[in-house]
């Protein structure tokens, strides 16, 4: 049972890390995309 809990915690931690990384990448891409669109207008 202990091994089962440890597996869930490690998988959950990896999933949370992955979600955080995706959020950061999405934020950076959105910001960059906004800059590109602003420059294109000039």
Q: What is the pLDDT along the chain (42 residues), one digit of tens a residue?
A: 799 999 999 999 999 999 999 999 999 999 998 888 888 876
pTM of the model: 0.58
- What's the gap between Cα 36 and its chain centre? 22
For the chain, give every domain's residue range: 1-42
d(CA 24, CA 17): 11
């Amino acid at each position: 049972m202990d091994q089962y809990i440890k597996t869930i915690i490690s998988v959950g931690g990896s999933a949370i890390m992955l979600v955080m990384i995706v959020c950061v990448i999405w934020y950076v891409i959105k910001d960059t995309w906004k800059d590109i669109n602003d420059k294109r207008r000039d």
